[in-house]
Structure 1
Amino acid sequence: MVEQSSVQKSALKIRPAVQEDAGAIAELFLISSDGMASYIWSAMAQPGQALEEVGRARYARSGVPFSYENCLIAKRGEEILGMLHAFEMTPREPGEVEEDPVLHPYSELEDPGSLYVSGLAIYEPYRSQGVGAALMDAAEDSETARRLGRMSLICFDGNERAMTFYRRRNYRELDRRPIVPHPSLHYSEGNAVLLGRSLS
């Protein structure tokens, strides 16, 4: 039975992900993306293939932004509690345009040169216990974040809990774009908001 008390800090460990974590990363990314991963992975799936399988294969890769190599895992003992995925946001190629109308707004909400947090998710029994904060602390203190000097992420303004969490961590709005509705997305109206924070 899962205890609802706060995860003891002494028991909580943050470590770099390994390839064997790809399945859990996929599950958690589906949670963190508010339906965006479902939208993207559905287009990649073979007939009858589960979205979790698509995500597992995606994150089992190496040498690409969407890889286990860019993830942190929160654990207590052998139990995975959550994950954070972040990578260096690079500039788009000249003339490169996102043609997908659902994804296009997000292509305009990029901060090249920042460490971009594309996913932060905690399994439900462990939320509001400091796990997300510990993962963000580790990402903000990482060698890549210190080198780049700033962090960025995108959050739906309808996700008030997440927006409050990031604002308390001194993330400020940099830009926003209206959501293009799709049945896969958890929010059918409102805005996608680019948030950023300087680490200097």
Structure 2
Amino acid sequence: MIDLSPPYRLATPEDAQELAELVNFAGNGLPLHLWRELAEEGQDPWEVGRQRQAERTRDGQAVVVDFGAGAVAALTGYPIDAAPEPVPDDLPAVFRPLQELENEAPGSWYVNVLACFPEHRGMGLGSGLLRLAEQIAGAEGLERMSIIVAGDNEGARRLYERQGYTETARRPCVHGNWQSDLEEWVLLVKTI
């Protein structure tokens, strides 16, 4: 991991609530759908999400923007192997197009989550986190970045394209029992 300076810091388990909200926001509600399926009978699916995000923080997998009152934006990501594993047959159909797109960006640092609470938009936080992601990728010896965005998320697309990302592939969204109007996922890649 690279050195972080305020307002950037590694997320801690205390950020789990904000991270769960940001992850669900970035994932167009798909994370909450997954958490509902993972929840035990009577368990709040948001608690599942908070637990999963707290686990990520223990592994140093999340960076947040914090101006002193808690996380307002977040970045998570990881390197994609140069030779990704084939999509497993037992992967739930709703996740299959996402994994297929991820596999089309071998040897890149994948921005899994980039999200900011609406009241903090327009402050350059997304651009700053993307630059930070590139520093992390460079420190890991990677020369490409990748991100998957909802096809109808024009604001996010503009942000990524301003940062030099270009579309390389699309896949139709598979809904199963996930309630969403989303029609397709888009893979964007950038050479750094």
User: Which interval holds the TM-score relative to the shorter structure?
Assistant: 0.7 to 0.9
Q: What's the offset of the Cα at 1:96?
A: 2.8
CA displacement at 1:108 relative to structure 2:
0.8
Alignment correspondent of 1:44:
38
* 1:194 aligns with one of 175, 187, 190: 187
Q: Is contact 2:64-2:75 (8 Å) kept?
A: yes
**What CA deviation, in whole Å up to 9, does each residue of 1:174-198 have, x standing for no partner?**
1111112356454332x20111111
Once residues 147 and 179 of structure 2 are traced to their aligned partners in structure 1, the CA distance between those partners, rounded to angstroms, is 17
Report if the CA contact (8 A) 1:42-1:51 is conserved.
yes
Structure 2 distance, partners of 1:95, 1:105, is 9
Query: Mean Cα displacement is larger for which, 142-151 or 156-165?
Result: 142-151
Amino acid at match of 1:195: L
Higher deviation after alignment, 49-58 or 135-144: 135-144
Distance 1:13 1:34 in 2: 26
Q: Which residue of 2 aligns with 1:100?
A: 92
Where 1:196 maps in the other structure, the secondary structure is: strand
Say yes or no: does 1:172 pair with 2:163: no
Moved more, 94-103 or 42-51: 94-103
Q: Is the 8 A contact 1:98 1:107 kept in 2?
A: no
Aligned to 1:8: none
Equivalent residue number for residue 65 of structure 2: 74
- Cα distance in 2 for partners of 1:95, 1:80 equals 34
Counterpart of 2:66, as a letter, is: K
CA distance in 1 between partners of 2:50 and 2:23 (Å):
10
Structure 2 equivalent of residue 120 of structure 1 = 114
Is 1:17 aligned to 2:11, yes or no? yes
Q: What's the counterpart of residue 3 of structure 1?
A: none
Q: CA 1:133 to 1:94, structure 2 compared with 1: closer, same or farther past 3 Å?
A: closer
Once the 2 structures are TM-superposed, how far is the Cα of residue 166 of structure 1 from its aligned partner?
A: 0.6
Count of residues in Structure 1 that have an aligned counterpart in Structure 2:
185
The unaligned stretches of length 5 or more in structure 1 are 1-10
Name the TM-score, length of structure 1 as normaliser: 0.81
1:17–1:68 contact (8 Å) kept in structure 2:
no
**CA–CA separation in structure 2 for the residues paired with 1:143 and 1:160:** 25
Structure 2 unmatched ranges of 5 or more:
none
Per the normalisation by structure 2, the TM-score is 0.85
Matched, 1:158 2:152: yes
How far the C-alpha of 1:40 sits from its partner, in A, is 1.7
